[in-house]
Chain A
Amino acid sequence: MTNAIECLNLTHCYGSKIVYENLNFHVERGKIFGILGKNGMGKTTAINILMGFLRPTAGRCLVLGEESHRIRPETRARIGLLHEGHIQYDFMTITQIERFYAAFYPRWKRQYYYHLVDKLGLSGDHKIAHMSCGQRSQIALGLILAQDPDLMILDDYSMGLDAGYRHLFLDFLLDFVRTDQKTVLMTSHIIQDLENVIDDAIILGYQKLLAQLPVSTFRQTFHAYRFDTPQPVEVLRRESLIRNIETLKQHVTVFGFFGVNELEALLDKNGITHGQITEIPLSFEEAFIGITGKY
């Protein structure tokens, strides 16, 4: 089996509120996969389903070949899980928490933990409750690395971290993952950090999947064009190629997986007169906002 995670026709609702319907995606072994989306689009819900903390309304998820709500303890030992907010046992000290987790994992590598934690320059009896958010993130990551898991699931690793700690976190993660061919599924709300980290991604929108593709393909094929027109352009929203439209007075910016010729054809088809069309270069974050919308 080549996929570490497979989600098939996944549907989840909170009461009458649909989070997503018939969502399908898979994570190949050895790849770093991102679940991207604005706040409230169901990223954490997806992770809770994958780890069996929620049972989906319909559909199924397989994690390392097992039903997500019925993962055996032996298989859980192969999954490193980072909870949103780097939650850990903050009543423990640096030394105590390492000893605690070491008892459960047969492949425990304490040197991974201390390699990361020693950089904090704190003594072993320093309580986690007395640490900053950034320091706690290093503890949480160190514990996951020491577990030596085959699959790492990281829920919003960037929450509460400043730029320095975010980069430190990613540096260690990438070194670990690329060396040992691990699989990672991660979410984050700091999109720009992920551009050179994740291989594949899904982008979640309101109750639907906006895109599922390799990040490199997304960067190459997703474009933004700007033109001026005195006419209303709302009619363009019906066109399947166009993913988003932003207007400011007579200035219009359209986003989608198309070239300038296809856009001109669409404008002509809808009888929209326009000025010169200019392509706007997009960073990864701008492309993300382009597809998800600002609101």
Chain B
Amino acid sequence: MALPENTEPLRPLRALIFKEWLKIRWVLWGALLISLGVLTLIALEQRQLFRNNKPFDVWFMVIFRRRLFYAELRFIPLAIGVISGLAQFVPEIIKKRLRLAFHLPVSETGLILTMQLIGLTASLLTSLGLLAGLALITHWYYPAEIVFSAVITLLPWLLAGWMGYSATVTVLIEPVWFRRIVLLAIYFGLIRFFFAGFSYGDYSLSWGWYVLLTLATTMPVFLSGHRFRRGFHT
């Protein structure tokens, strides 16, 4: 005998995914379009470069002069992360609408975790799309070593996108303005680390630490969420 409709355990999760999807779907379509546009631009530039220059000259420019041919991608993941966070949580903090979610019969931590994971997954998917697109273009024109180098170079920028998302959400749901400003300053300082280098593989030896740092900075959202839930005003 089939279970009654309401006993299906994944229904609340699916409902939450649906709600978050309604808020961020346009951002994701926009991110996809912008990413495709920039990747197309990079591909066209490379085609032009190889048409107008001899292979040795291209090699000289790209490898010896260390000119990043995909620098346009630098801030795109960060922008996607921040805009996703805004699209997802601005509607929640207007009129303190997040209280609706906190009244749902689910655990507070589970709710925040689910909402955050949905945003991070959306950010991750767009980032992976960007990474795959760049790898494909690079592979078309350059040897495997350059493809690997491109992926390693892009990684911290993608992580910055995740951190930008966490920063946006944490700052938005923190109920006290002073704390918001402090959090913003801290996250701004941390995100700057991800853009300190501007050359091939600048983070190739330390990217593990950057992953850990990014994961660590997803934690404060729980504290801000708890403070919002309990109505802290100091």
Contacts and interface: CB of A to CB of B under 8 A. Distances in A.
Q: Do A and B bind each other?
A: yes
Interface of A: 14-15, 48, 51-55, 69, 73-74, 76-77, 79, 81, 83, 85, 87-89, 91-92, 96, 99-108
Contact of B106 (A54, A73, A85): A73
A102 B231 contact: no
Interface residues of B, number: 27
B205 interface: no
A48 B232 CA distance: 12
A105 B100 CA distance: 14
Contact of A91 (B7, B15, B91, B105): B91
B104 A108 contact: no
Contacts of B12: 103-104
Task: Label chain B's interface by main secondary structure.
Answer: helix
Contact of A53 (B6, B11, B19, B99): B99
Given A105-B6, A106-B7, A92 B19 contact: yes
A96 B25 CA distance: 15
A77 B11 contact: no
Interface of B: 6-7, 11-12, 14-15, 18-19, 22-23, 91, 95-97, 99-100, 102-107, 229-231, 233-234
Contacts of A103: 6, 11-12, 14-15
A171 B19 CA distance: 31
A102 B22 contact: no
20 contacts: A14-B233, A15-B234, A51-B103, A53-B102, A55-B230, A73-B106, A73-B107, A76-B103, A77-B105, A83-B100, A87-B95, A89-B97, A101-B15, A103-B12, A103-B14, A104-B11, A104-B15, A104-B104, A106-B7, A107-B6
Given A87-B99, A103-B14, 6 more contacts: A48-B231, A73-B107, A89-B91, A100-B19, A103-B6, A103-B11
B15 A100 contact: yes
A139 to B, nearest CB: 12
Contact of B95 (A14, A74, A76, A85): A85
A91 B18 contact: no
B26 to A, nearest CB: 11
A73 to B, nearest CB: 4
